[in-house]
Amino acid sequence: MDKEKVVILCGGMGTRLKEETEFKPKPLVTVGQFPILWHIMKIYSHYGYNDFVLCLGYKGEMIKDYFLNFEDRVRDITLNPKTGKKIHLGKNDMPDWNITMVDTGLLSNTGTRVKKIQNYINEDNFMVTYGDGVANIDVNKLLEFHKTHNKIATVTSILPPPRWSFLKMDQNNKVFGFSKTEKLPNAWIDGGFFVFKKEMFDYLPENEDFMLEKEPMHKLAEQGNLMSFQHHDFWQCMDTHRDMEFLNQTWESGKAPWRVW
């Protein structure tokens, strides 16, 4: 049986990271040597999911170009300019990925993008995530949870890390410390890393532009068809320049939690 496909939303304009996204799509903003999109794909690939569908939009041609020339980018090359002959040197450790790249519209919202790749999904279940967030999530456990509860949709919920320090206070409001590591209890938010049954496409209307997180998810919740897979460990999106710096510093430290491979 074929493994589930992984759909990655790569089409947004990334306006809050304009320093980078003015020149490239956000999924190609680098963390270390590689784009964050590569990091996301490596997470899924580690668990054996190697069939990807990329929903392209803003500067999508750059993502196509990146993967069409991937081997040239990451391996040493001997090139003869006259003959055009080139030889890739060193160990051939290219990822064994099948990548379907689909133009889903320049300004399309997330739900519209997923609807537009319906013809590329033949499996009973498929996974969807955002092209700008990483986590040390166990994808196999996520999928097992989804199949066990037998509902149409699963969203991974996370407790977001605080952007500012919390004041630690006693009952008399005396401050005795600060914390940037504690998380707000019960403040679970959508962390991406969705799993859907194929019936999810019935909730995505034709010829409309809509957000996946709005009407479709609300309807699923009202029907009792949406479950939450709680991820208590590391999760981080790249929404701002500060997020980008944090991810790069974490990667360069050699202790990036999302590096499960």
Supply the pLDDT for residue 153.
97
Q: Tell me the CA distances in angstroms from 94 to 70, 72, 90, 98, 218, one per residue in order.
A: 9, 11, 11, 12, 41
- The string of pLDDT tens digits covering residues 21-58 is 999 999 999 999 999 999 999 999 999 999 999 999 99
> What is the C-alpha separation between 190 and 159, in angstroms, rounded?
9
Q: What pLDDT sits at residue 1?
A: 60
Strands 166-169 and 175-179: antiparallel
The answer, yes or no, to whether residue 176 has pLDDT greater than 70, is yes
CA-CA-CA-CA torsion sign (70, 73, 74, 76)? positive
108-138 pLDDT, tens digit each: 999 999 999 999 999 999 999 999 999 999 9
- Average pLDDT rounded to a whole number, residues 81-87: 94
By mean pLDDT, which of 48-57, 132-141, 164-173, 242-251 is the weakest?
Answer: 164-173
Is there a contact between 127 and 7 (Cβ–Cβ < 8 Å)? Answer: yes
Which pLDDT band, with edges at 50, 70 and 90, does 171 fall under? confident
The pLDDT value recorded for residue 41 is 98
Q: Residue 67 corresponds to which tokens in the numbers above?
A: 């993967």
Q: 183 falls in which pLDDT band (50, 70, 90)? A: low
Residue 260 has pLDDT above 70, yes or no: yes
DSSP state of 160: P
As a whole number of angstroms, the distance between CA 77 and CA 256 comes to 29
List the beta bridge partners of residue 175: 169
How far apart, in Å, do the first and last CA atoms of the chain sit?
A: 24
Question: So what's the pLDDT on residue 23?
Answer: 93
Tell me the mean pLDDT in the region 87-94.
91
Backbone angles phi, psi at 216, to 5 degrees: -60, -45
Per-residue pLDDT, 124: 97
Q: Is the pLDDT of residue 164 over 80?
A: no
Cβ–Cβ under 8 Å, residues 158 and 235: yes
How far apart are alpha carbons 56 and 210 in whole angstroms? 16
pLDDT higher than threshold 90 for residue 160:
no
Q: Rounded to whole angstroms, what are the CA distances from 177 to 41, 161, 185, 215?
A: 39, 18, 18, 42
Q: What average pLDDT does the chain have?
A: 93
> Which ranges constitute the DSSP H helices of the chain?
18-21, 36-46, 60-68, 70-74, 110-115, 139-149, 215-223, 241-252
Query: What tokens were used for 162?
Result: 């605080």
